[in-house]
Structure 1
């Protein structure tokens, strides 16, 4: 309990400002991939047609080797304003279907939308997944070797709606629905796996439905590639059913802070603190907090997704972002993170897992400041390679 109190103090220390924070958008990023295409085909194309519009699109089809599973990701990012840009924050919708050579098929749509003058905010997470994944056990029982491959199909519908209270403070509700089907397991160990023991050998379909109370603070001007401001989300979820019909609750807290060190160049220090726990019942194994399974799927660079799982997860990450070229076309990031899952069925965080890494940035669309993102992270006995069109957080 004493350790938990110290961690909570450290969590909020992360949110304290300690340097100059820029509030104006950096305006010297003058070159992106669309400019390159325009230069090549400027007489016959319309790449830069309508640059004064409020909508910006980015498209990225590319083969990758992510988290040791080769495949293809096609990422669509759309950003837009539903009101005056001076009084309305940027909205975005992403669709990033992923196909792997290990028979993973993921169709996710995520939305973060502000209505005119920021009166309402809507956060959505909708997905269909056919997702065989390696499992490594629960809590302190996890090992460096796979325990089993857990195969399942998942439908998800998460929808949050918050109303502005005052300034950047908001409050609202969310509906959260997960459905798991066709669950099966291929074991690689002698004896029962942690999944089998936790679920009492139950592989039947499961539906998790819950209602969440959400508090939100968001002072970022650009949520695709933030340069300043703070983001704090706190969700309290009440779930209607769980293993053996037992109801359960969860807490989900995501806090992010950004500092800009220059008005002329992109030099940003960003850091994040994340806490996710379940209590008061018995969630399905796939509903337990796990690294890489936050709502955006962005925690745990340097680790295989699903590498650590328990009833509680604590995660810290810091990143420095910088321009390499004066026109902002080339950039780089350097990051480090450390995480811990609790000893199972407790809130004791005794084992910590650090990772470090670096990444390359290529300006994809200067209108919404989106980048082609390529990050490589490494940790003890593990690594990851991730690619996308928006910053990790």
Structure 2
């Protein structure tokens, strides 16, 4: 179970007097008001930073900051909205991390740079590999983790991009801690750490204008990556990735969106680079990696009220998803499909750029998961 709360959202919706009393010019109040106010002109860059507070059983209390930088190439409103998100945290268990996500469009979409960076010292719960792993007494893997993944894509024709992709992942200073008093899990490939460099290519169709809140549009990506010992990897394997997302407005405020997502690997895949079910994007409610294997196919649908008819800044969502993992594609089974669903609250953080802060609660048979991020899940 993963619980997360955000101080910023609470401060934003509580009346000023309740938080600040009579201190009308307090620096905290000015900081919060600046964070929730969108005073930039259309086309001009926007930057926001706000504090976060979280709790989970694996980390105890977690403190951090999130930031979001939005811009359009050459400050031209006809260009797509680019975004760079950063999140940094530290916990009472001496865990820490920095996350960075980017979706950057060049002038007239001539270039599209899409990627993510992760560095963290953070516990990983390990339930085993396969579609029927037990949900009790997971192992705890304590390690340093580094991920660098980027696609540098060139426009071929309108909305269609192609280009190289690089993926570097490293797990080091690794400790595999079995459940107390007994060993349950056979040590998986990569449990002692390792590094893998993947090279490949991606083909993308993207006609979205606002990556963080798609009112209407289609994103479709198909990519291939190969990891070889000859290319500075510890293991030989390769994989295909599929991601299709579509959003359809039902009226001026409401959006119906769906996504199909798949990972398909072959070879000697380390446990941390297997297809992972769960997390903040798809199969919300499941711990990321609760189920893992060489192959996964997942789908989700979501209805969004952005915002509610009776509010200028608050909105909400309902969503449902299902996924299945298997060691081989021909071994996917209906009986192993796992469902999840949930509801979400939205707060309009950048009114002029139509960007929402999201709080999602996903429910599964194993319990809920709570997620707080800027922008929609997909």
Could you state the TM-score of these two structures normalised by the residue count of structure 1?
Answer: 0.81
How do residues 150-299 of structure 1 correspond to structure 2 at under 5 angstroms? Answer: 150-188=141-179, 190-191=182-183, 193-194=185-186, 196=187, 198-199=188-189, 203-241=191-229, 246-263=235-252, 266-279=253-266, 281-292=267-278, 298-299=281-282
Matched residue SS, 1:367: coil
**Residue 275 (structure 1) shift:** 0.2
> What is the CA RMSD across the aligned residues, in angstroms?
2.7
Q: Relative contact order (alpha carbons < 8 A, sep ≥ 6): 1 or 2 greater? A: 1
State the shift of 1:192 in Å. 5.1
1:61 aligns with 2:46: no
Q: What do the CA deviations read for 1:114-139 (whole angstroms, capped 9, x no partner)?
A: 01000000012112110212111111
Q: Distance in 1 between matches of 2:233 and 2:317?
A: 46
Structure 2 segments unaligned to the other structure (5+ residues): 1-11, 17-23
Task: Find the aligned partners of 1:180 and 1:135 in 2 and give their Cα distance.
Answer: 14
- Deviations, residues 336-373 of structure 1 (Å, cap 9, x unaligned): 1111111x356422201111110111111112212121
* 1:144 and 2:128 correspond: no
In structure 1, runs of 5+ residues without a counterpart are 1-32
Q: Distance in 1 between matches of 2:55 and 2:85?
A: 21
Please list, as runs of the form range in 1=range in 2, the aligned pairs for 1:304-343 lying within 5 A after superposition: 304-322=287-305, 323-342=307-326
TM-score by length of 2: 0.84
Aligned equivalent of 1:128: 119
1:255/1:48 CA distance change after superposition, 3 Å: closer
**Partner Cα separation in structure 1 for residue 40 and residue 173 of structure 2:** 47
Q: Is the CA contact 1:272–1:317 (under 8 Å) kept in the aligned structure 2? A: yes
Give the Cα–Cα distance (whole angstroms) in 2 for the partners of residues 358 and 314 of structure 1.
Answer: 22
Shift in Å at residue 63 of structure 1? 1.3
Structure 1 pair 315/103, CA: closer, same or farther in 2 (3 Å)?
A: farther
Structure 1 residues 241 and 367, CA gap change in structure 2 (3 angstroms):
farther
Q: Distance in 1 between matches of 2:282 and 2:89?
A: 18
Between the aligned partners of 1:340 and 1:119, the Cα distance in structure 2 is 37
